[in-house]
Structure 1
Amino acid sequence: MSNRRIGVWLVGALGSIATTVILGALSFRKGTKETTGMITETGSFKELGLVSLDRLEFGGCDLRKGRLRDAARHVVRETGALSSEFLEEIDEDLMAIERDIQMGTVRNCGEAIRKLSVSTLFDEGSIRQEVAAICGQFRSFKERKSLDELVVVNLASTEPPLPIQEVHHDLGAFEAALDRNDLDVVRASTIYAYAAVQEGCPYINFTPSNGALIPAVVEMAERNGVPVMGNDGKTGETLVKSALAPMFLCRNLQVLSWEGFNILGNMDGCVLDHPENRESKIKSKDQVLSKILGYTPHSRVHIHYVPSLDDQKTAWDYIHFKGFLGTKMSLQFVWQGYDSLLAAPLVLDLVRLAELAKRRGESGLMPHLASYFKAPMGVEEYRLNEQFEMLLNYARKAGGGDDRVA
């Protein structure tokens, strides 16, 4: 394993997923928990020289004031994943990380996020001033921690969709829009992504927010030798869809309708209760079926906020399909899981793989990471097994090994 010191800058650092990422890394460092759920801890990835989990240093930003220790207690209380005794053991570690959590920007995040925010940082400044301030946060963190690399991960709440314009498709035109402070061409996620790539930091968009990796930012990443990837981490219902939908294709069964009902709590659920924010999420979840099946059955994704569920997410899917002699049949499944516990190991995987890609001189999109995302960029393959094979093929080549799969 690589002994380089790697920073992880979490946008949305006080949220449940970010907190669980930090708790997971600290628990591995202390040797108290298994790495179940982390693909990079399986045999196929052992020869890649991935950064050791105990060499990760965490910092980030959030729109809320609060203490990481309180967020950690909340996660432990809701999930039961760790003991209160362990929290006491890592209290000083959490305090140290708290000092590296800065205030972020709420630029064009939508009213739902702004209402939950106490941040006024950058509100009066230009886009260029926001970018410069965020780049300064990155550089300061790298210097204080003597880091060899910094990976930026967007775990913030879902923004309203950014209408993609002609200016977003050309780096020169986009930067000219930034220079004249055209506020309509950015969301907060755009600013973070642009700042990360400008600083040479690998960037992962784990959210559905389409403003993060616009074509101009991807172009900049290709030019600057920076690996980037998104969008929207695939952790639950859509994970099952991408594994199950190919079955109907393989058996020549026609899917007539696929209805998905999702209920969840936590801050993500609260934000998604607002139609403009929910639109981004539904778009990333709803395209999987047509991409796999080659046709578009009747399909609706319903998302509802249930505060009492907190971090636990429940999805009920009803699949109506047609078989031999036109007979109609159905399949139903229920998926229940803690959102943060499903997402955190994937985030740690992505950090390690993004750092490896940067070290290998790769740039632009990382299509081999498609299996981690609902709406993977630069990829037309949406079947989970085939996406996972892309990752394994990459690991074989990067490791210079053979075709054995552990």
Structure 2
Amino acid sequence: MAPHAEADVGSADGHGHSRNGNGSASSRSGHADLFVVQSPNVTYTDNEIASKYTYRTTSVTQDANGKYVATPKELVYNFKVDRKVPKVGMMLVGWGGNNGTTVTAGILANRRGLVWDTREGSRAANYYGSVIMGSTMKLGTDPISMKEVNIPFHDVLPMVHPNDLVIGGWDISGMNLADAMDRAAVLEPTLKAQVKKDMAQMVPLPSIYYPDFIAANQEDRADNVIPGSKASMAHVEKIRQDIRDFKQRNGLGKVIVQWTANTERYADIIPGVNNTADNLLKAIEQGHEEVSPSTVFAVACILEGAPFINGSPQNTFVPGAIELAERHSAFIGGDDFKSGQTKMKSALVDFLINAGIKLTSIASYNHLGNNDGKNLSSQKQFRSKEISKSNVVDDMVEANSVLYKKGEHPDHTVVIKYLPAVGDNKRALDEYYAEIFLGGHQTISIFNVCEDSLLASPLIIDLVLVTEMMTRIQWKLSDDNEVDGPAEYKGFHSVLSILSYMLKAPLTPPGTPVVNALAKQRGALTNIFRACVGLEPESDMTLEHKLF
């Protein structure tokens, strides 16, 4: 490949399919259904799945006496899913980093069905850690055996297979991906040897570098940068052109861009600068110092119509960026990959509070030795991470007025230290201190060793697959409703809150609540997919086993 090449890790075999390590096939041109829904509310054509879905919820008001009044509500929606799976490109900002090199090598290994030796025996390529590729969804119950029928999550809707992705991207370091993979020190040497030839031909495109936004200790990497140290429309246009060139060169139907680069400092929200779409565009034109590289990438993607996902904790999506995305009906999602310690925290806190146990303090300590840790050793960049890791319990606390008075909140502290010796094997220590029955206490201590990039890489894949899927789903309110709705089909809101399961600090549409509870996030993802094929939400009532 030429310099600044991309990886067509999804090139087809002789039958127009690509194969994973288990030999299963996926097709870009269509989707072989694993199941069909037999219902008058669901119709199938060669091009689409159309469904009518009744959404049931409860509206709660408060009367003059302070008594709650709960009223069941029903709305009927029409969903339409495009069944044709396009050829998709994934462009990563920070392609030469730990996450970028690991996910690229992983997709190559899966496509080629690689097996390699380790000290613990042979290992084969897989997609463990991916919700979409590694988990299942309950389809229903077999009426004879009364057993649940579960299917791979990937087969609920016609989705892109990660083996088919074409990968490219940008990096401030011009190192080819084989050398960058060695620098990351994440993968086994026996695996690296099998993908090294291909990855040596992959070289990131030059990226933008504004020294004020990342730690000074990253300066020695910045040898592959677009000229200019502040935001400019020239940078926006260069990124847009890179996306267009990548798309055309590889014959792609869609390109999805994801920020996998270093954590930036928080940008100040300044009226007249980044608080509206027009102000933000003007600030970029004027080279304002509070416009970050990630926001410039986001603006370029919004204007180009390429979905953009922020995998780091900084406030990429300033109010002006969100307004711009809404104006252009462009998809955005963020923030910060939720892979290890924070995912455990959001599950455990949800469990404790739902069990009626009053959590009073959380102390989280991390030490890691990869380049992310090096960058986070700078206080301004650490502050971005501290915010994203600290807010994950807020909605769960606010939902329980029995345990917590208004304004009451558990003490919560987060510490991150850079220890080069541990490399990508991050150590996460957490102590949860809780109040229990009759003034007693419970303390839970967790020591979690997270192979950071091996946990984050499947999330990068999930975010791309789900985002692409959302570009092929449209909806409208059915004529069966008593209320007026959009007469024409339209897409989901620009802010893809459905991605929350994979992100620490979920971005939601303005004015809507943030949900951090892991089970609720997974339930939303599952049930939206079910609605698209006309199936009711998953129910754990199992009345068929209880009523005779």
Q: Flag whether TM exceeds 0.5 (same fold).
A: yes
1:13 is matched with which residue?
Answer: 95
CA distance in 1, matches of 2:364, 2:496: 29
SS across alignment from 1:31: coil
2:227 is matched with which residue?
Answer: 122
TM-score, normalising length from structure 2? 0.69
TM-score, normalising length from structure 1? 0.92
1:161 is matched with which residue?
Answer: 266
1:248 is matched with which residue?
Answer: 352
Name whichever structure is richer in helix by fraction.
1
Deviation at residue 403 of structure 1 after TM alignment? 4.5
In structure 2, do the counterparts of structure 1 residues 400 and 221 end up closer, same or farther at CA, with 3 Å as the change threshold?
farther
1:106 is matched with which residue?
Answer: 209
In structure 2, do the counterparts of structure 1 residues 97 and 147 end up closer, same or farther at CA, with 3 Å as the change threshold?
farther
2:432 is matched with which residue?
Answer: 319
SS across alignment from 2:209: coil
1:40 is matched with which residue?
Answer: 132
2:392 is matched with which residue?
Answer: 288
Given the alignment, which residue of 333, 336, 340 partners 1:236? 340
CA distance in 1, matches of 2:220, 2:521: 36
Which has the higher mean CA deviation after the structures are superposed, 108-117 or 383-392? 108-117
Cα RMSD (Å): 2.0
Deviation at residue 111 of structure 1 after TM alignment? 4.1
Deviation at residue 125 of structure 1 after TM alignment? 7.0
In structure 2, do the counterparts of structure 1 residues 125 and 248 end up closer, same or farther at CA, with 3 Å as the change threshold?
closer
CA distance in 1, matches of 2:154, 2:307: 20
CA contact (8 A) 2:214 2:263 kept: no
1:372 is matched with which residue?
Answer: 502
Tell me which structure has the larger Cα radius of gyration: 2
Deviation at residue 290 of structure 1 after TM alignment? 2.8
CA distance in 2, matches of 1:397, 1:307: 47
2:531 is matched with which residue?
Answer: 397
Matched, 1:90 2:220: no
2:246 is matched with which residue?
Answer: 141
CA contact (8 A) 1:44 1:395 kept: no
CA distance in 2, matches of 1:173, 1:2: 44
CA distance in 2, matches of 1:312, 1:247: 27
Which has the higher mean CA deviation after the structures are superposed, 29-38 or 118-127? 118-127
CA distance in 2, matches of 1:17, 1:124: 25
CA distance in 1, matches of 2:448, 2:192: 29
Deviation at residue 123 of structure 1 after TM alignment? 1.8
Which has the higher mean CA deviation after the structures are superposed, 86-95 or 102-111? 86-95
- Cα deviation 1:264-303 (Å, max 9, x = unaligned): 1110000001111100000010111233222421111000
- Cα deviation 1:219-263 (Å, max 9, x = unaligned): 222232321100011111111110001222123222221111101
CA distance in 2, matches of 1:114, 1:106: 10
2:177 is matched with which residue?
Answer: 68
Matched, 1:176 2:310: no
- Cα deviation 1:114-148 (Å, max 9, x = unaligned): 52432442226761111111111111111211211
CA contact (8 A) 2:498 2:521 kept: yes
Matched, 1:192 2:305: no
2:139 is matched with which residue?
Answer: none
Deviation at residue 49 of structure 1 after TM alignment? 1.2
CA distance in 1, matches of 2:104, 2:435: 46
Given the alignment, which residue of 306, 328, 338 partners 1:224? 328
Structure 2: any 5+ residue segments left out of the alignment? Answer: 1-25, 29-85, 115-124, 136-151, 399-407, 474-490, 540-548
**1:183 partner amino acid:** E
Given the alignment, which residue of 375, 381, 402 partners 1:277? 381
Matches within 5 A, 1:295-314: 295-314=408-427
Q: Number of residues paired by the alignment?
A: 397
Name whichever structure is richer in strand by fraction.
2
**2:382 partner amino acid:** R
In structure 2, do the counterparts of structure 1 residues 238 and 124 end up closer, same or farther at CA, with 3 Å as the change threshold?
closer
Which has the higher mean CA deviation after the structures are superposed, 86-95 or 25-34? 86-95
Bigger relative contact order (CA 8 A; separation at least 6): 1
